[in-house]
Structure 1
């Protein structure tokens, strides 16, 4: 019987409590990896318990991607618990405040840049240091967005922060390739996650909800399910992607084909 493609591999996933993070975790587990679930939310404990109850090799720890010491501590905990770190998926992100550009505050802007950009930098740095010390390479995967490809109204801070991720990915891939570390990112379009559904329903802002529902109804293949993003992440983590680095996979059902 053939071993699962990620057997013996250890992954750390940020923002793993629910939504994309949970789906990514479940996909990596299905493919044989052991996973450290991390999150700033206490929900990570219950999620980990549910997955452990099904027989998966999982653990959890708190992680705040805006705090380099917190990221380092989570990486150390992963290596201590499972003996190594092969795959780091930085899924944690911020998208819950959408305002016209003239209404953005410095605090709004800083929250996006701290979580979506600085957090990615800290995760790359910490993961790469651990992987270099181990001496057998590794995979670092970030989550961008179709907002890295086109602008959306009332989302200037979100679009700006997400558009920085593909370039940070390329720069890191260029520098870390000599250590056998690949760095890639996945750019989801609208996906049926808790946060996306809150935006689409109008629970966060009724006007934005109406605009999103109208736009999403036109997507040729329809909205993503979380597993669609998870399988793209798993590709970058798989043996099939061993020579793929500095790349972005866009998963969005054809929505970008529309004007």
Structure 2
């Protein structure tokens, strides 16, 4: 696929297509998606006869590299992003819909076009079921910088309490390392689940609607390197809230 892209780029004098061309989308400050290149390469097997057609299409749609100072990459890859909200939250999140909406807003703000849902179990939702069934076993889970946290979604629920790869950071939508940044003084993440990703109805802050100190929610310490450690915590605590991209799509990113 990469060779196909380079051939197409060479035919318009642009060098490596994935490095040289810039293409701005109206809905994002900086984007990096040109699925037609990867799709056609895979579908047509890289035959020379269509390279010229791709080059003409690119010439018509893309700006000259000199026309803009933005550096944009074209990405065609299979992955699901796991990203933290930009601030910690107590157990009072206006319910699961309130948490989901914050995930949606902050993802769009940085140009991520996938569907992001809060990494939480609730009254009608098990954490395990959030990701689309077809994408649970074959798609890696990555952070905002595409560093692999887990080989796939099912790996989180394999009995390890979702132990993520050593040295890989959990990043917020604005790019901060939540384990190191002082904006998250308590290095714990809400989840409301057991180790298999099933809801714990007595430990999800009354469906994420209360910060009452006597009510509890299930959480995990990121210091342990796990996302599903079983730690019962008061809902008045302000912890990290994660968002998971729930189905694969080609999405624009910085």
Normalised by the length of structure 2, the TM-score is 0.25
> Which has more radius of gyration?
2
Report 1 or 2 for greater relative contact order, CA contacts < 8 Å, sequence distance ≥ 6: 2
| Structure (1 or 2) with the greater helix fraction | 1
